[in-house]
Homo-oligomer: A and B are copies of this chain.
Amino acid sequence: MSDDSSSTKIAAALRQWIATAPPGAQLPSTRSLVAQHGASPVTVQKALRGLAAQGIVESRPGVGTFVRAVRVARPNDYGWQTAALGSPNHRLPHLPAALQPVPNDVIALHSGYPDRELVPERLVRAAFTRVARTDALVARPPTAGLPELQSWFAAELASVTPSGFTPAAPSDVVIIPGSQSGLLTAFRALVGTGRPLLVESPTYWGAILAAAQTGVEVVPVPSGPDGPDPGALARAFEQTGARAFYAQPNFASPTGAQWTPELAEQVMDTVRRHGAFLIEDDSAHDFGMTADPHPVAARDDGGHVVYIRSLSKSVSLAVRVAGLIARGPARNRILADSQAESMYVSGVLQAVALDVVTQPAWRTHLRRLRQQLKTRRDLLVASLREHAPDARLEAIPRGGLNLWARLPDTVDLGRIVRECRSAGVVVGAGDEWFPAEPAGNFLRLSYAGPHPGAFPDVARVLGETIARE
């Protein structure tokens, strides 16, 4: 154990002793503390100096160390901050369920993150170990990102770009620290405070949070298992004068929808006609099960699609790296915003991401992941059908990490979530996924969390809870 952590431990033990000791009590001698903790006199002295610096003990040279007269632990008054802070510019939603930590002993279907067994742990470990030997540790990468990683993102999109379209160039790519950062940057740079942004309803809660954070005015467009309603989208553009539409065309969260090529064409026609941007969030790119993702960005070279492609969920939660692809002045405005926000993305994280996705084993991992997700999805679907038939699935998603189940309109959704929780099952209420009022009682059920073997039990708990309502 390091010297520092030993002295921290000794200090902690002494704090406990002091807590029940009268003021003025003499502490055990350094010699006896050395013996008691098996530490060096230097370490013990360090712990004592720390406590003295904090005014908890006082040392009388040649005599010993004593507990100081106890100060009344006065509660600090921060009331003055109320006036200084004023009302917030815009109220941020509470910490969404998808980010809330839960104890290990519950079965969690609420998280937006994949379980450990679904990430390429060995690949990532090896990459960190390799990169730890390189200059990525001491070099500052360019603000737009590592050139090799920019090229990789551009090449990935170019590989599905049909002939007749100019493929994205490496210089169109801006490397950003995760897709949330990309949403904020796109909303700030392309929309701006107080201006309208069209979003699907329901949509990804991170986008709702980013809209609140940037103060853009969210305009919901109804969406479902087939994607957004193109007529409603066109009307929303006309009525609001919006210049941007945020969407997830592939395996949307929470609905799982994947746009057909025809819908993608229709949406892009509308977007082009209104001189607008499609902010395409391709978060589930690596999570296709029975379909491949078809980025809409691949069929646009007019700068209308701003494409965000994160690697954090599929590579590792610790590798917060995403690519944002944009063209024309929009790209420059995005880069300026992103620079002001984060200056640059850790060179180590960029190098690790590049290392992982360029390994042949990455493709093998993605193929296995596809199967694992499909098996998990099928088990959860079958379990719900058997044990919770009232949790109705409007569609079986072909990709993504979750099911979107509709409960009867008559139930009390909050109570169902609470009762499941008391039975050890955490499910996410659909409400957080609606930018305005929810269109019904929905649950978002992730099949990507831990303990997939428990899906039948989960379904049973859910079915019984609904039946009791």
Contact = CB atoms under 8 A, between A and B. Distances in A.
Interface of A: 2-5, 8, 50, 52-56, 68, 71, 73-74, 76-78, 80-86, 88-89, 92, 95, 99, 101, 113, 116, 119, 121, 124-125, 128-129, 131-133, 136-140, 142-143, 155, 158-167, 177-178, 180-181, 184, 188-190, 192-193, 206, 209-210, 212-213, 215, 243-244, 275-277, 301-303, 316-320, 327-330, 333, 336-337, 339-349, 358-360, 363
A331 to B, nearest CB: 9
Nearest to A161: B54
Contacts of A89: 188, 192-193
Nearest to A132: B128
Contacts of A345: 320
Nearest to A359: B2
Nearest to A126: B132
Contacts of A82: 329
Given A113-B140, A136-B318, A137-B124, A342 B178 contact: yes
B137 A125 contact: yes
Contact of A140 (B83, B162, B317): B317
A73 B166 contact: yes
B128 A177 contact: no
Given A73-B166, A125-B133, 4 more contacts: A2-B359, A85-B190, A178-B343, A317-B346
A84 B243 contact: yes
A164 B71 contact: yes
21 contacts: A8-B155, A52-B163, A53-B162, A55-B164, A55-B165, A56-B163, A76-B302, A77-B302, A80-B302, A82-B329, A85-B189, A88-B192, A92-B336, A99-B339, A101-B142, A128-B132, A137-B316, A212-B340, A317-B347, A318-B346, A346-B349
Contacts of A139: 317-318
- Kindly name the residue among A113, A206, A336 whose own CB sees the greatest number of chain B CB atoms within 10 A: A336
Q: Which 9 A-B pairs have the closest CB atoms?
A: A55-B163, A78-B328, A128-B132, A318-B348, A213-B340, A84-B243, A78-B303, A2-B360, A116-B138
Contacts of A317: 138-140, 346-347
- Kindly name the residue among A95, A162, A163, A210 whose own CB sees the greatest number of chain B CB atoms within 10 A: A163
Contact of A319 (B4, B209, B346): B346
Contacts of A83: 243, 275
Given A5-B358, A76-B303, A161-B54, A85 B329 contact: yes
